[in-house]
Amino acid sequence: MSDIESPESGAHEHHEHHHDVEGPGYATPQAAIEQADREKISYVPSLYVGTDVDAPDFLSVVDVDPDSTTYCEVIDTVEMPNKGDELHHFGWNACSSSCHVEGLERRHLVVPGQRSSRLHIVDTKNRESPEIVDVIEPEEVYEYDLSAPHTVHCIPDGEILVSMLGDKDGDLPGGFLELNDDFEIEGRWDPPGEIGMNYDFWYQPRHNVMVSSEWAAPKTYYPGFDLEDVEKGNYGHEINIWDWTNRTVEQTIDLGEEGLIPLEVRFLHSPEAAHGYVGAALSSNMFHFYEREKEWFAEKVINVEPREHEDWDMPVPGLITDLLVSMDDRYLFFSNWLHGDVRMYDVSDPKNPRLADQLWAGGLFGPRHPTGEDDREVIAGPQMLQLSIDGERLYWTTSLFSTWDNQFYPEEAERGSVMLKADVNPRKGTMTLDEDFLVDFGEMPNGPARAHEIRWPDGDCTSDVWQ
């Protein structure tokens, strides 16, 4: 295969590489590091759902180019055609896994509504001023007895896979919806009955594997978090290991009490790697999963200790809500949304992560004004993360989910989210909060908004998969 050739033999011009056929993405993770430009804009779903701001959610175009006069500002917004979507996670129509597909471009974003089950197709041909070109209405989705779209990954050959967390009524089980390259529903990807619960997923074609995680039924998590639901077993604690080509679950690994609510799943980027991580939010443990002799295992490798807080009756869990692996597979970053910190671990030895650095901003224990006393306060803790492809800048937003935000950080509805950034030194393994960077989603035209996931136009550390 051409994608294991040395990147040095390829052209260094942006987006051009040494494949037999031109397609989107980069030949290898190393080629991405070498060829990607610095990120200049980012796309960030921004929300009004669940507040008294009577307006639709929108996609923000955020200027992250320090040489620009509008640095740290929302320079454009794409308003959704309907209210009530709860835009959440979103993804590209194509990534490096479709590198060999001629004529395909990484150009369209699939932007689902978590509550509405509506799927929006946004064309980013004009990067600074994208537009909605197509909408799949909830009724079309319900026909496949699915609802609550979550993770969007392009899959090889131009298709798009979306994890769906519920059936058409918001009950279990969920499944996967497949879209074709014309953004039409192709059908249900998985045979019904393979899984009980669903959430995030990542696939690794060379190992013929997909790993999916579990949140809960939409009707359980939509209204907010209730400890009673945990006691009743309504929240997930398993990961499913799929045969990627057969679309069947080959193994289910129960993470037990220590693995309650396994959310984000990230494989190492190297297509040869059979290692990944999944963060158990409620138990606040990081699990390493790996393959040995055709069998998959998951082991707890990091534990975030709960902490006492004077206003809380019980010790507060860190609540690991997001994680990512740097493009060179050297560092694992994750966020503790309740505690208020971001951690950086050296994972050169994937089984033995070593804490490299940690920083605090907002949350229950971090500084309320991390970027300076004169700047607006940061209400919630670090949540969705995104890293520059060269691994030198880590960005994050602070909203988790509208009803959960209201429970744990009620002021966020009044003040809106922020986007923050740390400068990362991969050589020394350190992070430094950039006190000159703050994007204030409290200052949006219709009122304060919540901000969620972050994506770069040319792919990022949580989009790209290599065949």
Q: Quick one: how far is CA 466 from the chain centroid?
A: 17
Q: Residue 405 Cβ, how far from another protein at the closest point, in Å?
A: 10
Q: Taking CB under 8 A as the rule, does residue 2 contact another protein?
A: no
Q: Radius of gyration of the chain from Cα atoms?
A: 20
Work out which of 73, 145, 171, 392 binds another protein, going by CB under 8 A: 171
Contact between residue 409 and residue 380 where contact means Cβ atoms under 8 Å apart? yes
CA separation for the pair 16, 28 (Å, rounded): 12
Q: Taking CB under 8 A as the rule, does residue 138 contact another protein?
A: yes
Site for another protein in 257-316 (CB under 8 A): 311-314, 316
Q: Residue 135 Cβ, how far from another protein at the closest point, in Å?
A: 15
Q: Taking CB under 8 A as the rule, does residue 393 contact another protein?
A: no
Q: Residue 312 Cβ, how far from another protein at the closest point, in Å?
A: 5
Please give the full DSSP string across 92-138, using - where no structure is assigned. ES--GGGTT-TT--S-EEEEEBTTT--EEEEE-SSTTS-EEEEEE-H
Q: Taking CB under 8 A as the rule, does residue 58 contact another protein?
A: no
- Closest alpha carbon to 387 in 459, 298, 284: 459
Q: Taking CB under 8 A as the rule, does residue 410 contact another protein?
A: yes
Coil vs helix vs strand at 295: strand
Stretch that binds another protein, among 109-117, 295-303, 377-385, 437-445 (CB under 8 A): 109-117
Q: Residue 54 Cβ, how far from another protein at the closest point, in Å?
A: 3
Q: Taking CB under 8 A as the rule, does residue 447 contact another protein?
A: no
Work out which of 156, 196, 205, 224 binds another protein, going by CB under 8 A: 224
Stretch that binds another protein, among 164-172, 254-262, 370-378, 388-396 (CB under 8 A): 164-172
CA geometry: angle at 152 spanning 146 and 153, to 5°?
Answer: 125
**Cβ-based neighbour number of residue 16 at 10 Å:** 12
Coil vs helix vs strand at 174: coil
Q: In terms of CB distance, is 323 or 413 closer to another protein?
A: 413
**Cβ-based neighbour number of residue 208 at 10 Å:** 13
Q: Taking CB under 8 A as the rule, does residue 81 contact another protein?
A: no
Q: Taking CB under 8 A as the rule, does residue 173 contact another protein?
A: no
Q: In terms of CB distance, is 297 or 312 closer to another protein?
A: 312
Q: Taking CB under 8 A as the rule, does residue 117 contact another protein?
A: yes
Q: Taking CB under 8 A as the rule, does residue 412 contact another protein?
A: no
Q: In terms of CB distance, is 89 or 288 closer to another protein?
A: 89
Q: Residue 115 Cβ, how far from another protein at the closest point, in Å?
A: 3
CA 259, 264, 268, 274 torsion-angle sign: positive
How buried is residue 315: exposed, middle or buried, by Cβ count under 10 Å (0-12/13-18/19+)?
exposed
Q: Taking CB under 8 A as the rule, does residue 145 contact another protein?
A: no
Stretch that binds another protein, among 112-120, 292-300, 374-382, 385-393 (CB under 8 A): 112-120
Encoding tokens for residue 407? 């429970």
Q: Residue 433 Cβ, how far from another protein at the closest point, in Å?
A: 27
**Cβ-based neighbour number of residue 267 at 10 Å:** 23
CA separation for the pair 390, 30 (Å, rounded): 9
Contact between residue 115 and residue 19 where contact means Cβ atoms under 8 Å apart? no
- Closest alpha carbon to 14 in 391, 459, 330, 327: 459
Q: Residue 316 Cβ, how far from another protein at the closest point, in Å?
A: 6
Coil vs helix vs strand at 189: coil
Q: In terms of CB distance, is 313 or 374 closer to another protein?
A: 313
What element of type H or E holds 449?
none
Encoding tokens for residue 318? 């860190």
Contact flags string 179-208 toward another protein, x per CB under 8 A: ------------------------------
Q: Which residues pair with 60 in a beta bridge?
A: 44, 77
Q: In terms of CB distance, is 199 or 296 closer to another protein?
A: 199
Q: Residue 202 Cβ, how far from another protein at the closest point, in Å?
A: 26
Q: Taking CB under 8 A as the rule, does residue 50 contact another protein?
A: yes
Encoding tokens for residue 221? 């998590």
Q: Taking CB under 8 A as the rule, does residue 383 contact another protein?
A: no
Q: Residue 383 Cβ, how far from another protein at the closest point, in Å?
A: 17
Stretch that binds another protein, among 218-226, 280-288, 328-336, 430-438 (CB under 8 A): 218-226
Kindly report the three-state secondary structure assignment for every residue of 16-82.
CCCCCCCCCCCCCHHHHHHHCCCCCEEEEEEECCCCCCCCCCEEEEEECCCCCCCCCCEEEEEECCC
Q: In terms of CB distance, is 407 or 425 closer to another protein?
A: 407
How buried is residue 236: exposed, middle or buried, by Cβ count under 10 Å (0-12/13-18/19+)?
buried
Encoding tokens for residue 22? 């031109």
Q: Residue 269 Cβ, how far from another protein at the closest point, in Å?
A: 35
Q: Residue 224 Cβ, how far from another protein at the closest point, in Å?
A: 3
Q: Taking CB under 8 A as the rule, does residue 86 contact another protein?
A: yes
Binding residues (CB under 8 A) for another protein: these are 49-52, 54, 83-86, 115-117, 138, 147, 166, 168-171, 218-219, 222-227, 311-314, 316, 402-403, 406-408, 410, 413
